[in-house]
Amino acid sequence: MQIPDIIIAIDGYSSTGKSSFAKIIANEFSFLYLDSGALYRGVTLFAVENGFINDQCDIDVSGLEKALENLDLHFGNGGTYIGDRCIEKEIRSLSIADKVSPIAAVPQVRAFVDKKLREFGKQKRIVMDGRDIGTTVFPDAELKLFMTATPEIRAQRRAAEMRAKGEDVRIEDVMKNLQERDYIDSHRETSPLTKADDAIVLDNSDMTMEEQMIWLKEIMAGRFGC
Ligand code: DC
């Protein structure tokens, strides 16, 4: 099957399986996978470690904006890095998840991340997941998906993922975090999470990964003849 040179933008609520699906798509089509949320999580870790956000989620916006000028946040072999320090494990913790939505609502943070993400858009054959990829980062993406699933299924999936990585979490805490993040992500002023008009909805509550792939290939065949 000849896959065209396109950008696939995947948006949706927290823990709907966007990144798992995006990684499988990337593998199947030999695309580059980019996890935009990792950059927001990386900025959040940086903000926590440098005192730009406190436990009440008050943010020193001007201090953070200034510090971002020198922040070397990037993707490398082991995932996400600040300089030569791999931060992949730290950014997946619940303590970072608790603060990432307030940080991601700061317009200066969004501008910092958007600039990095758009650099990748100069090349095609990428699949990127996030909250505003089809609406703001790549509004011209050739294929846009908007993923959703029931809150219970999402919380179970995320808790299982975190437990597999050794973090001891309670379903109630994970569910609360997901709901709070979805609310903040959908209601912020700058680039809120919303379905692009031309995005196709995928509710994967009762779908296996194989079924999602079959669904996608049918869409690709219909749209691109591949
Ligand atoms: O996909 P994730 O759960 O790792 O994303 C973490 C947070 O980052 C999410 O709650 C909102 C924010 N985010 C965003 O605002 N825009 C994106 N394109 C990606 C993530």
Domain that holds residue 83: 7-220
Residue 99, φ and ψ in degrees, nearest 5: -110, -10
Structure confidence at residue 78 (pLDDT): 83
The pLDDT, as a whole number, for residue 165 is 87
Pocket of ligand 1 (CB under 6 A): 14, 36-37, 40-41, 100-101, 104, 130-133, 181, 185
Residue nearest to atom 1 of ligand 1 (CA): 37
Residue 202: closest CA among 26, 20, 27, 3 = 20
User: Is residue 2 one of the residues assigned to a domain?
Assistant: no
- Measured by CA distance, the residue closest to atom 13 of ligand 1 is 37
In a domain, 39, yes or no: yes
Q: Which has the closest alpha carbon to 193: 141, 114, 131, 147?
A: 131
User: Is 169 part of a structural domain of the chain?
Assistant: yes
pLDDT at 39: 98
What is the mean pLDDT of the segment spanning 197-222?
97
Centre of ligand 1 from the C-alpha of residue 199, in Å: 18
Does 162 map to a domain? yes
| pLDDT value of position 6 | 97
Is 226 within the bounds of a domain? Answer: no
For residue 167, tell me if it sits in a domain.
Answer: yes
The answer to whether position 192 is within a domain reads yes
- Give residues with Cβ within 8 angstroms of 101, minimum separation 6: 180, 181, 184, 185, 188
The Å distance, Cα 150 to ligand 1 centre, comes to 18
Report the CATH number at residue 17.
3.40.50.300
Q: Is residue 1 part of a domain?
A: no
Q: At residue 1, does pLDDT exceed 70?
A: no
Query: What is the total count of domains within the chain?
Result: 1
Average pLDDT, the chain: 96
Could you read off the pLDDT of 49-95 as tens digits, one per residue?
Answer: 999 999 999 999 999 999 999 999 999 998 999 999 999 999 999 99
Q: Tokens for 13?
A: 């609520």
Statement: residue 212 has pLDDT above 70: yes
Kindly give the distance from the C-alpha atom of residue 193 to the centroid of ligand 1, in angstroms, as a whole number: 9
Sign of CA dihedral 217, 221, 222, 224: positive
| Amino acid, res. 47 | A
Give the tens place of pLDDT for each residue, 103-161.
999 999 999 999 999 999 899 999 999 999 999 999 999 999 999 999 999 999 999 98
Name which residue sits closest to atom 16 of ligand 1, judged by CA.
131
